[in-house]
């Protein structure tokens, strides 16, 4: 065989591998589809028409997945019994489902109905259709589609001995090595076994080396130099060169450009009308498409790429398997993958992602799968999510996380969170993943975006799925844990259970062992409204008992002729809008019974006051503070007028004069005479005008007004010194 004879023989050989011979119609292979739009299915199966071939397989899989009572063998008559289901193009999660159910061969699968498969755990409708699509694809490949090549005829073997003129050196060498393998198989009694089939464990090193020598034969060693350098980029360039001289410019600047030029600008550059440019572009595209589908090698590459893009894959991973995809088609200045992408509508390439059939559908498919895998709290394990295929498992995990993030999901460790738009959804998913109660801070540590503890607590408290399991610990209602209700409701619940009375010590032990609260807190609540403690036994109070504390006995509370005033310092909680405690004496001042609240008229609308806990409270005063431009650290008086109105006024600025400053802190009007200052201080704390200074100081000390006492003593010392 001469070199030219060899080339022709090789071309005949490669052609027979890629050309289809008398393929049957889709209805011939899948007769159960008769009546399901015969015009669509009564057509010849043509794998060279990649645009329709894979799309039809996917459509058949979707139809098959709806035939609940038919077996897979009835749906796919050509399903090979020996087909290794773990070796077909399916995701790891589908493989795991097959293994879990003991279905690993075509024979195992053939007897199952679609209804049987639907019962498998974590194999929803999307994954069932994906499995059937992969099985149909492999079944069609296994069907006889091409003329079988006779290797003996190709290599012109007349006998086991190679001919004297065996053509290129590699042919003679290959023939010699194949003969050695053949003689070995005959010698051990396996004359019908494939020469390159599974190797026996006792195979000697010489025969192993023969096999390795055959496996080392590469394209460079087989093809002539001019053929060995023609990868897909060169073949496409050759096809473009067959077009006229305008083709490279139009294809480069418009058809394959990332930002296509408009027809008018190209027409101006080529001195053509925009319509003529459009006509030429269509002609070039048609010619290239025909060449791609007509050239057997290029058509095979397109089919291979289609087969690899099952759903989602990165372009760099395709390039690792088919390096020619990364090579540049010189005439148009674009890589091969970009040229193929422009002609193949079976997948879309966006930002390096190859997505079948489009980004929109790939994202929708992923969202559907993750939502199907997620629990009721929106958390899905990575084990139940299809991975983006790569050659390296660690890369696959990273690729999958990036794809899920692109689809809008949040990744937390080895889980995917479906709903994180609200604080409560995010928190519920985190609790579901952790499986144990967590504090607010612990939950927020796992958030991607910073949220305040206050915001989170409010959100969790309103969500029906989440409950307090302790003072600042949260769990899921579905866990069935005892919920934290606060000390007062806990006391009330225990009293109801115990018939209305319970020993204080027992009450303290039960509540402190269930929740993170102190004995002192429990004791404090147990001795205040609406409870009472007598002889160490706690019960509901028989009536609302007001405290004995009066305003004139209370620090920072002072009497004016038309009101009582209470001096406070503005803090951040006031400015934020929180409620604030009032002295116990306010209960008597405002004539409140326990459980009551009241709205007092004020210049800025109604002002809430109440007594629902151990201590009375003042509702938010934020609006008044903002209206009067008060800041944190300012001293003000809360004014409770005799007519029931409420107001806030600033404390007069201190002057440095002891008596004057003492009077200002007590809310009194300025006075020059010492006797007038003394009388006004006395009446402000409930003493008679004319009271002795020593009595005033004693009363202020007892009340806790140490700041005013200090000023009065300073005045007395200064007077004595002068």
DSSP H or E run through 521: helix 519-526
> In Å, how far are 65, 560, 566, 573, 708 from 667, measured between CA atoms?
84, 8, 9, 24, 12
**pLDDT top residue among 218 and 331:** 331
Q: Are 287 and 300 in contact (CB under 8 A)?
A: no
Q: If you average pLDDT over each of 115-129, 372-386, 537-551, which comes out highest?
A: 372-386
Helix (H, G, I), strand (E, B) or coil at 611: strand
Q: Tell me the pLDDT band of 146, cut-offs 50, 70 and 90.
A: very low
CA distance 457 to 466: 11
- Say what the pLDDT of residue 620 is: 93
Mean pLDDT for 512-540 is 84
Q: What are phi and psi of 470, to 5 degrees?
A: -160, -175
Task: Write down the pLDDT at residue 441.
Answer: 93
Residue 408 near residue 462 (C-beta atoms within 8 A): no
Residue 102 zone, left/alpha/beta (φ > 0; ψ -120 to 50; rest): left
Cβ neighbours around 690 below 10 Å, total: 10
Residue with tokens 């009067």: 628
Residue 285 contacts residue 240 (beta carbons within 8 Å): no
User: What is the arithmetic mean of pLDDT over 416-421?
Assistant: 91
Pick 551-650's CATH classification: 3.40.640.10, 1.20.1250.20, 3.50.30.50, 2.40.330.10. 2.40.330.10
Residue bearing the bigger pLDDT, 391 or 534: 534
Query: How would residue 295 be classed by pLDDT, with cut points 50, 70 and 90?
Result: low
pLDDT band at 102 (very low <50, low <70, confident <90, very high): confident
Instruction: Write out the E strands in 259-319.
Output: 312-314
CA distance linking residue 392 with residue 650, whole number of Å: 71
Q: What's the sign of the alpha-carbon dihedral 574, 580, 586, 590?
A: positive
Q: Give yes or no for a contact between 312 and 403, defined as CB atoms under 8 angstroms apart.
A: yes
Query: 4-13, 336-345, 631-640 — which is least confidently predicted?
Result: 4-13
Structure token digits, residue 135: 């099985």
Task: Report which of residues 528 and 115 the model is more confident about.
Answer: 115
Return the closest-CA partner of residue 337 out of 313, 310, 311.
313
- Location of structure tokens 């992923």: 366
Sheet holding 410-412, edge to edge: 379-381, 415-417, 410-412
Query: At residue 22, does pLDDT exceed 70?
Result: no
Give domain limits for the chain: 20-142, 151-225, 230-355, 487-540, 551-650, 658-721
Q: Which long-range contacts (CB under 8 A, 24 or more apart) does 118-121 make?
A: 118/68, 121/97
Q: What is the pLDDT of residue 167?
A: 58
DSSP string for residues in 497-512: HTTSEEEHHHHHHHHH
CB 14 within 8 A of CB 297: yes
Q: Residue 151: pLDDT above 60?
A: no
Angle at which helices 50-64 and 125-142 cross, to 10°: 130
Q: What is the pLDDT of residues 325-378, one digit of tens each?
A: 999 999 999 999 999 888 877 888 999 999 988 999 999 999 999 999 999 999
Distance from C-alpha of 556 to C-alpha of 93, rounded to nearest angstrom = 71
How deeply is 692 buried, as exposed, middle or buried, from its count of CB atoms within 10 A (0-12, 13-18, 19+)? Answer: exposed
The contacts found for 284-290 with CB under 8 angstroms, 24 or more apart, are 284/240, 284/243, 284/247, 284/250, 284/251, 284/255, 285/255, 285/343, 287/239, 287/242, 287/243, 288/236, 288/239, 288/240, 288/251, 288/343, 289/343
In this predicted model, what pLDDT tens digit does every residue of 642-697 receive, in sequence order? 999 999 999 999 999 999 999 999 999 888 888 999 999 999 999 998 899 899 99
Q: Is the pLDDT of residue 307 over 90?
A: no
Distance CA 606, CA 600 (A): 5
Residue 141 has pLDDT above 90, yes or no: no
Using alpha carbons, select from 689, 373, 707, 717 the residue that is nearest to residue 561: 689
Q: Which residues, 6+ apart, have CB-to-CB distance to 86 below 8 Å?
A: 95, 98, 99, 104
Give me the pLDDT at residue 511, please.
Answer: 85
Q: Say how far apart CA 278 and CA 288 lie, in whole Å.
A: 15
Average pLDDT value over all residues in the chain: 84
pLDDT of residue 163: 42
pLDDT at residue 242 in the model: 93
Residue of higher predicted confidence among 705 and 52: 705
* Most confident option among 130-134, 220-224, 470-474, 706-710: 706-710
DSSP symbol at 350: E
pLDDT at 636 over 60: yes
Residue 676: exposed, middle, or buried by beta-carbon count in 10 A (0-12, 13-18, 19+)?
middle
Rounded average pLDDT over 20-48: 74
Q: Does residue 143 register a pLDDT over 60?
A: no
What is the value of pTM for the model shown?
A: 0.53
Residue 4 — very low, low, confident or very high, per pLDDT cuts 50/70/90?
very low
Looking at residue 591, what is its pLDDT? 84
Neighbours of 69 (CB within 10 A): 9
- Point out the least confidently predicted range of 111-115, 145-149, 497-501, 584-588: 145-149
Q: For 545-558, how does the pLDDT look when each residue is reduced to its tens digit (9 = 90+)?
A: 667 788 999 999 99
pLDDT at 14 (0 to 100): 35
Spatial distance between the Cα atoms of 294 and 48, rounded to a whole number of angstroms:
8
Q: Which stretch of 94-103, 121-130, 418-427 has the lowest confidence by average pLDDT? A: 121-130
Average pLDDT over residues 86-102: 82
* Mean pLDDT value of segment 117-146: 78
Instruction: Say yes or no to pLDDT of 404 above 80.
Output: yes
Comparing 98-112, 193-207, 261-275, the range with the smallest average pLDDT is 193-207
- Which distant-in-sequence residues (6+ apart) come within 8 Å of 354 by Cβ? 309, 312, 313, 314, 315, 318, 347, 348
Distance of CA 545 to the CA centre of its chain: 55
Whether the per-residue pLDDT at 192 is higher than 50: the answer is yes
Q: Which of 230, 161, 172, 231 is nearest to 6 (CA)?
A: 172
pLDDT beyond 90 at 9: no
Predicted local confidence at residue 587, as pLDDT: 82
**pLDDT of 6 above 70:** no
């Amino acid at each position: 065989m001469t070199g030219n004879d060899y080339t022709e023989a090789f071309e005949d050989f490669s052609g027979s591998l890629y050309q289809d011979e008398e393929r049957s119609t889709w209805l011939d292979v899948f007769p159960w589809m008769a009546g399901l739009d015969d015009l669509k299915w009564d057509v010849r199966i043509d794998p060279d028409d990649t645009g329709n071939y894979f799309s039809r397989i996917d459509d058949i899989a979707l139809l098959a997945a709806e035939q609940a009572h038919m077996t897979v063998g009835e749906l796919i008559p050509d399903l090979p019994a020996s087909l290794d289901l773990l070796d077909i193009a399916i995701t790891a999660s589908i493989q795991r489902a097959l293994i879990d159910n003991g279905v690993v061969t075509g024979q195992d699968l053939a007897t199952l109905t679609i209804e049987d498969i639907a019962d498998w755990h974590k194999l929803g409708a999307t994954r069932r259709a994906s499995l059937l699509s992969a099985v149909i694809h492999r079944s069609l490949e296994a069907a006889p589609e091409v003329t079988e090549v006779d290797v003996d005829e190709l290599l012109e073997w007349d006998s086991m001995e190679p001919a004297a003129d065996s053509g290129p050196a590699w042919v003679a060498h290959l023939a010699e090595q194949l003969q050695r393998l053949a003689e070995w198989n005959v010698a051990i009694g396996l004359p019908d076994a494939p020469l390159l089939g599974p190797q026996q464990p006792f195979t000697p090193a010489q025969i192993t080396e023969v096999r390795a020598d055959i496996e080392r034969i590469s394209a460079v060693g087989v093809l002539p130099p001019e053929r060995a350098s023609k990868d897909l980029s060169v073949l496409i360039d050759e096809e473009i060169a067959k077009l006229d001289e305008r083709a490279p410019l139009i294809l480069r600047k418009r058809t394959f450009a990332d930002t296509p030029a408009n027809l008018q600008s190209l027409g101006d550059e080529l001195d053509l009308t925009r319509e003529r440019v459009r006509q030429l572009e269509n002609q070039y595209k048609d010619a290239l498409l025909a060449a791609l589908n007509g050239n057997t090698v290029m058509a095979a590459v397109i089919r291979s790429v289609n087969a690899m893009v099952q759903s989602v894959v990165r372009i760099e991973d395709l390039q690792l398997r088919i390096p020619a995809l990364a090579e540049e088609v010189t005439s148009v200045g674009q890589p091969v993958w970009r040229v193929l992408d422009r002609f193949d509508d079976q997948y879309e390439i966006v930002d390096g992602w190859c997505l079948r059939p489009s980004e929109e559908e790939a994202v929708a498919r992923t969202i559907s799968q993750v939502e199907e895998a997620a629990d009721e709290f929106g958390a899905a394990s990575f084990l139940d999510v299809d991975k983006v295929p790569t050659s390296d498992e660690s890369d696959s995990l990273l690729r999958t996380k990036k794809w899920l993030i692109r689809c809008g999901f949040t990744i937390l460790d080895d889980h995917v969170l479906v709903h994180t738009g609200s604080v409560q959804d995010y928190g519920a998913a985190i609790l579901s993943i952790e499986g144990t109660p967590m504090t607010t801070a612990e939950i927020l540590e796992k958030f991607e975006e910073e949220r305040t503890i206050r915001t989170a607590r409010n959100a969790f408290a309103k969500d029906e799925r989440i409950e307090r399991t302790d003072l600042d610990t949260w769990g899921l209602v579905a866990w069935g844990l005892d919920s934290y209700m606060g000390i007062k409701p806990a006391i009330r619940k225990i009293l109801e259970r115990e018939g209305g009375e319970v020993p204080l010590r027992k009450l303290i032990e039960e509540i402190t062992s269930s929740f993170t609260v102190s004995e002192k807190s429990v004791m404090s609540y147990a001795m205040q409204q609406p409870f009472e403690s007598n002889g160490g036994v706690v019960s509901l109070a028989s009536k609302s008992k007001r405290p004995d504390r009066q305003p004139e006995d209370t620090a920072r509370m002072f009497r004016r002729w038309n009101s009582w005033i209470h001096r406070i310092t503005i803090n951040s909680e006031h400015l934020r809008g929180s409620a604030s405690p009032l002295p116990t004496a306010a209960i008597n001042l405002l004539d409140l019974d326990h459980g009551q609240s009241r709205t007092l008229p004020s210049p800025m609308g109604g002002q809430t006051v109440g007594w629902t806990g151990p201590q009375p409270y003042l509702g938010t005063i934020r609006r008044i503070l903002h209206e009067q431009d008060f800041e944190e650290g300012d001293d003000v008086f809360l004014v409770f007028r005799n007519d029931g109105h409420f107001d806030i006024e600033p404390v007069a600025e201190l002057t440095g004069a002891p008596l004057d400053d003492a009077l200002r802190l007590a809310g009194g009007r300025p006075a020059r005479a010492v006797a007038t200052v003394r009388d006004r201080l006395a009446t402000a704390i409930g003493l008679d005008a004319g009271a002795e200074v020593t009595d005033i100081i004693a009363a202020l000390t007892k009340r806790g007004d140490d700041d005013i006492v200090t000023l009065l003593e300073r005045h007395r010392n200064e007077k004595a010194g002068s």
